[in-house]
Structure 1
């Protein structure tokens, strides 16, 4: 029987387990994928606590990449054996086998590694949405908080591709990576506003916050207009100050954006840093690392 990550009650990492489950059967418009890699994300840790219990009572994971095993009735364009990238709307990707709507899949380019493909959806679509929300232009300056994280590292690269000067807030251990990707690294913590002003003497035009913890207020203090600030982490501040919260995966054109991002990766124009890869059985260890919130890049499960 195939295995999948499950939990019976909301709580901490200790509620997670790997169970044997019934083999899924694809229905109309569905595809059964043998998962090769499944990324993990902070949102899944929030779901596990019960904060969104009405929507997500169990199961884990959106991101996935794998090989199609079966296709259901009405599926066109995919066949068994196809290598695909996609996402599970039922939070069921952290498993050996996952049912996926055919419209939530795109083909995996040969040059995109499994770990990268399987961790692309949430961070990719979120970074794409957040950067598009602030509309960076050639010659403008954009600050990105959490710039070395899963979403932040992609947002840095997408903003640079738009022609903007990017200031990336991150710990010093990640400064060389930021420099190598054309960003100006600035250490977070006390005095960060002064360090940003020194790095951007002509001012800051836009701000993407991937971390929360006061960065919306910092952006406003730097003189950034509310409609050029986007946060994916501090929704209370967004409501208070009227800044944007674009980047949520629920509203994104997922498969289309996945195809675009996968193409950029295959052509060498975009990098998804991989921090760690764990076997499915070590899902608790994977989330322990994730919830420290200082990881450079993505943490991935390999069923």
Structure 2
């Protein structure tokens, strides 16, 4: 039977020292961990407080510049759309004024376009897009000025054309029965100057203005019977005589092709006809140069 050994006092003291060292080390570790945890929590609280009180961080300069570029491009796109709408409206008006084919000059839809699939594509930047838009806006402004000038030229052309007598003084029908110049008067039989031409037609036929102008006389005048006198541009004046009834009064503005009287046989006349006369600066001139004689029936009796 083995005897129980009793630890010596020296060994017991060594074991006690080791135990105390372990406890001290554990205390130091625990204290260190607590210190660092406390320090971390304090630092975290300080950071949170600083975040609440500190001003917001400065924005990235490149991001701010990109945002400003995008805003500039958006503004230019808006201006571009507005200019396109104005030019489309102006172009459509010019197409109508010039009598062009609306299908060929279509301002309501984009122009046809296309390109090959193998086209080389280049990287696009906001700066390049802004430059392209600025160039397009400049070109649109130039085109708009030219279209406005073209509109003015077309209007002046139309005004000049409409203010110069041309065409035919009757809505339908009519045959020239007596020309301009010396002739035997149909009533007196004497040789006299005929200052206009006579166009025979059905009684009551519409008489139309040969050009835009202002009525300077509408009423009866000697052998003319009922007569309408219209003044035009460039010192020209047209007269429509022997009317059955006048439909306009002095001071009225008339347009080319507007019905101004009904054909009759008032004044010194042998039958229904219109005496058509053109005067330049008060002097009678041959009206034949202002008439459309494309229909042979109109000159069959000359």
Q: TM-score, normalised by structure 2?
A: 0.20
Structure of greater relative contact order (alpha carbons < 8 Å, 6+ residues apart): 1
Q: TM-score, normalised by structure 1?
A: 0.20
Counting helix residues as a fraction of each chain, which structure ranks higher?
Answer: 2
